[in-house]
Amino acid sequence: MRLHGLSIGRAQRVAGVLLLLLLGECLWTIGRQPLDANDYRYAHCGREMWEAPSVLQGYFTTCGNLNGDGTLAYRLAGFPLTAQRMVLLSVDHFRKPENRVFANGSLNGTTWEARHELGFVKYLLRLPFVLFAVWLGGGLWWVSKRLFGPEGGALALALYCFCPAIVRYATRPNNEILAMWGLYGLIYTAMGVAHALQGPRRKWKPRIVLLTVALGMTAMAHLLAAMVGFLAGGAFFTYLAERRRAYVSQIMIYAALGAMVMVFAGFSFKVSAFLYVFSGGSARSWFSLDAARRFAMTPANAGIVVATAVAAVVYGRNKASRYFGNTAPLLMVLMLFPLYTTQVVSAPWVWALPFLFTFVGGVFADALDHPTEQGRSPGAAAGTKQRKMFVALTVGVVVTQAVLCWASMAGVM
């Protein structure tokens, strides 16, 4: 099947179904969750960023200067409500003065003082984060499919879509899901730029611009995620650039400068608020295995844990699996899972999940001995019997994880 020159095969249809399931999980979860104080905070301060400066002298918003939180989540949470407000005001101008809903042609006050006029607040507030989660799922599938073939891409996406932590963070305003989206895109965009440098110069500029945007969006979500992505992406970039390594430092410096401009724009170009980025302590961090231990001991993650354990064993015992495509996401998992912030409340372990699913999908694809789009044949399987065993294991893991995820969402576990 082809749509406007785009081929839609079995792999694309499977990915589409999985992403629709993720969207359905998120909408169902949102429908069961009442609005809470966290929603009020993000909506109120997000609308302030779009509509008016803070009424508190010396502060960016009534939430403070956001030295610990990135501005991206606030702006995403407030934008649909601000857009709906502007539409309501615009429509009201076409009514006769005596029939207008809003006196003096203005809708003043906070979102919650105007809650009888604004509709679908619960969904509008949370839907942007759902869309970013679905977007990340599509990117995860595309990367995994290109590297490991359709089976690896499908497994990675299935584990992502049926991960309770992904659904939980996708259905409430927060910067973690945005930092996860940005960091994953930043790392693989850096690798894409390295590959582009081996080709004609006309292909360089679009990918360098994309790298700058990825770094800037990540920094707007969480400064620590941007720093980790800058260092790790630069290291992978240098490794893959080969004969073009002289360009790496220049490209990364330009990307960092562009990212700083984007962060400055996130603070509405207010210097006093922007300076808190450098003194707020949001990037202060240390290492601990508590988060990894809690993730592994959560019953709803049993399918993911089993798949990870099998992938780790196969990776350790099978030399054919220890190539860059599998090693890079594994290194990111080992870097992010033990990381925790000491100055602000954050969850860097969540950022590791897409890399974990990429690693599992890659190793299982090797075990299934499926050739990739580039024609690589790892030769990891020991024959038809072993392939059948891994097919059964893959299906069992996905079905088990799907059941556990839905049970967790329903409150059974």
Q: CA–CA separation, 61 vs 63, rounded Å?
A: 5
User: What is the dihedral angle through the alpha carbons of 241, 243, 245, 246, rounded to the nearest 10 degrees?
Assistant: -150
Residue 90 lies in a domain: no
Write out the residue range of the structural domain in which residue 252 sits. Answer: 2-34+124-409
Dihedral sign (CA 226, 232, 234, 236)? negative
Element holding 281 (H helix, E strand): none
Q: CA–CA separation, 81 vs 111, rounded Å?
A: 8
Q: For residue 300, what are the contacts with CB-CB under 8 A and spacing of at least 6?
A: 164, 404, 405, 407, 408, 413
Residue 13 lies in a domain: yes
List the structure tokens of 120. Answer: 């679908």
Residue 354 lies in a domain: yes
CA nearest neighbour of 25 among 34, 17, 15, 13: 17
Q: What is the pTM of this model?
A: 0.90
- Cα–chain center distance at 189: 14
Which residue type is seen at 232? A
Q: Which residue ranges of the chain lie beneath pLDDT 50?
A: 109-114, 370-382
Q: CA–CA separation, 213 vs 149, rounded Å?
A: 28
pLDDT of 56 reads 61
How many DSSP H helices and E strands does the chain contain?
Answer: 17, 4
* 286: β partners: 340
Residue 242 lies in a domain: yes
pLDDT of 116 reads 53
Residue 133 contacts residue 27 (beta carbons within 8 Å): no
pLDDT of 84 reads 85
Q: CA–CA separation, 15 vs 141, rounded Å?
A: 7
Q: What's the chain's length in residues? A: 413
- Cα–chain center distance at 349: 12
Q: Specify the 3-state DSSP secondary structure of 285.
A: strand
Q: How many domains does the chain have?
A: 1
Q: CA–CA separation, 217 vs 194, rounded Å?
A: 20
Q: CA–CA separation, 139 vs 188, rounded Å?
A: 10
Element holding 13 (H helix, E strand): helix 10-32
List the structure tokens of 251. Answer: 């490209």
Residue 92 lies in a domain: no
DSSP 8-state class, residue 282: T
Residue 155 lies in a domain: yes
Residue 65 lies in a domain: no
pLDDT of 96 reads 72
Dihedral sign (CA 348, 410, 138, 327)? positive
CB atoms within 10 A of CB 77: 29
List the structure tokens of 218. Answer: 């990540």
Residue 277 contacts residue 227 (beta carbons within 8 Å): no
Q: For residue 38, what are the contacts with CB-CB under 8 A and spacing of at least 6?
A: 172, 173, 174
Q: For residue 69, what are the contacts with CB-CB under 8 A and spacing of at least 6?
A: 63, 175, 282, 344
Q: Judging by beta carbons within 10 Å of its beta carbon (0-12, 13-18, 19+), is residue 379 exposed, middle or buried?
A: exposed
List the structure tokens of 6. Answer: 């785009």
Residue 68 lies in a domain: no
Per-position DSSP letters for 76-97, written without gaps between them: HHHHHHHHHHHHHHHHHTTS-G
Q: CA–CA separation, 186 vs 226, rounded Å?
A: 9
Q: For residue 268, what are the contacts with CB-CB under 8 A and spacing of at least 6?
A: 49, 53, 60
Element holding 409 (H helix, E strand): helix 384-409
Q: Specify the 3-state DSSP secondary structure of 306.
A: helix
Q: Render pLDDT for 97-113 as a digit per residue (tens, 0 to 9).
A: 766 666 555 555 443 44
* Mode of pairing for the β-strands spanning 2-3 and 6-7: antiparallel
